[in-house]
Amino acid sequence: MDTNEFPALDETDVAILERVERDADVNLAELAEELELSKSAVHYRLNKLKDANVITAVSADIDPLALGLNMVVITEVSVAHESGYAEDIGQSLTAIDGVFQVYYTMGDVDFVVHSRVQNRDQMNDLVDEIVTIDGVNETASKFVMRELKTSTRTVENMSEEMVRNAVDGTD
Amino acid sequence: MDTNEFPALDETDVAILERVERDADVNLAELAEELELSKSAVHYRLNKLKDANVITAVSADIDPLALGLNMVVITEVSVAHESGYAEDIGQSLTAIDGVFQVYYTMGDVDFVVHSRVQNRDQMNDLVDEIVTIDGVNETASKFVMRELKTSTRTVENMSEEMVRNAVDGTD
DNA sequence: AATGAAATCGACCAGCA
DNA sequence: TGCTGGTCGATTTCATT
């Protein structure tokens, strides 16, 4: 049963996704051979996956260090709960330069914010900017010493069981 | 002065990076026109950026929801500090199915782990698996209600100042 | 879903600043 | 070292079955 707005996927679709999320530069011929399909079949499926927004974009991955972004900070943000400003505060957080992830979470902390900056001055400015947002009550920041894994890849991190579920549609 | 192993970049390089991280499917001709450069010049620079590992990969971005991955959990992990196992524990964490980010942090918490799963059973299993790792002392998990921003894009999140620094090399 | 033809694109080259 | 313009081969794309 479809529980979401996306089309049902089969094993072949997942195989294609796994491959192109790893390296979108593969040419159709190679992909087709790997999957034992014709080039046009692969082409057809790829188009379908893009149209259905299963594939949302094809993008070049850029090493942040190449641009001097060698500091990552994790900031937990708590808001004044009387205020119904949560929505606005979320928006304000996403708009701050250097911020690359914002989550709205359950628990004593309301937002978790990840940012990437080049130096301590920028780190300071960024935390200041967060504190200044109207409705923000308290913040606590952690400095990241090492990024052991940062994999935006979807299929790559899935277990066999997850893939099976995704194909069956029995989420 | 170069403070890292990467080549110096100029404004044109950054413009190219900004464009291809947004959409790597642009053809050379279009890119060249936008930058008022020749196709071969763009080609030349792109190769250079890939060779220097400024561009680490070209990948298709896949919507996790299309595969039923509709739950994100943030887990804070503290380890027994006598043990010098931090390295091993980090490795163990990155290897767990569903885990897509692992940070080693300063402070009372040692690791921050982000995972994506399809249902509560998987969530349970995942947290269990973390607790079971040898040397792990304590864990605290937060459920993510909303992902307000998840942008792996590097240049996109940079301020003008950051770009200027990156180009000058004055990090 | 496969075939094959037409259109398009990226890779490469020699020459040049 | 980086750029230009042009050519060739490879690759995507599309109409048809």
Q: Could you tell me how many helices (H) and strands (E) chain B has, helices first?
A: 6, 5
Q: Which residues, 6 or more positions from A30, have their beta carbon under 8 angstroms from its beta carbon?
A: none
**A133 close to B (CB below 8 A):** no
Find how far residue A90's CA is from the centre of its chain: 16
The fraction of chain A above a pLDDT of 70, given in percent, is: 95
Longest dimension (CA), chain A: 60
- CB distance B72 to A103 below 8 Å: yes
Residue B61, helix vs strand vs coil: strand
Q: Which domains does chain A have, with CATH numbers?
A: 9-61 (1.10.10.10), 64-143 (3.30.70.920)
Q: Which run of H or of E encompasses B111?
A: strand B111-117
* Average pLDDT, integer, range A68-86: 90
Write the CB contacts of B117 (distance below 8 Å, at least 6 apart in sequence): A162, B69, B71, B73, B98, B123, B126
Token readout for A61 is 């991955």
Check residue B159 and give its pLDDT: 98
| Contact residues, chain B, for A26 at CB < 8 Å | none
Contact A37, A12 (CB under 8 A): yes
Arithmetic mean of pLDDT, B90-98? 97
CA distance B57 to B43: 16
| Between A171 and B119, the higher pLDDT residue | B119
**The pLDDT of residue B46 is above 70:** yes
Tell me what the mean pLDDT of segment A162-166 comes to.
96
CA A5 – C1' C2 distance (Å)?
A: 30
- The 3-state DSSP class for residue A24 equals coil
Distance CA B50 to C1' C8 in A: 24
Residue A8 and residue A170 in contact, taking contact as beta carbons nearer than 8 Å: no
Report pLDDT for A4: 73
Phi, psi of A137 (to 5 degrees): -95, -50
- Stretch (H or E) spanning A169: none
Give the confidence band of A1 by pLDDT, cuts at 50, 70, 90: low
Specify the pLDDT at position A168: 79
B12-to-B2, B18, B74, B162, B171 alpha-carbon distances in Å: 18, 10, 38, 15, 19
Q: Residue B161: helix, strand or coil by DSSP?
A: helix
Task: Give the pLDDT score at A2.
Answer: 54
Residue A171's pLDDT band (cuts 50, 70, 90): low
**Closest C-alpha to B117, from B67, B71, B64, B65:** B71
Which residue of B4, B108, B149, B168 to mutate against A (max A Cβ within 10 Å)? B149
Q: Is the CB of B46 less than 7 A from some atom of nucleic acid strand D? A: no
Cβ-based contacts of A150 with chain B (< 8 Å): 101, 152
Beta carbons within 10 angstroms of residue A15's beta carbon: 17
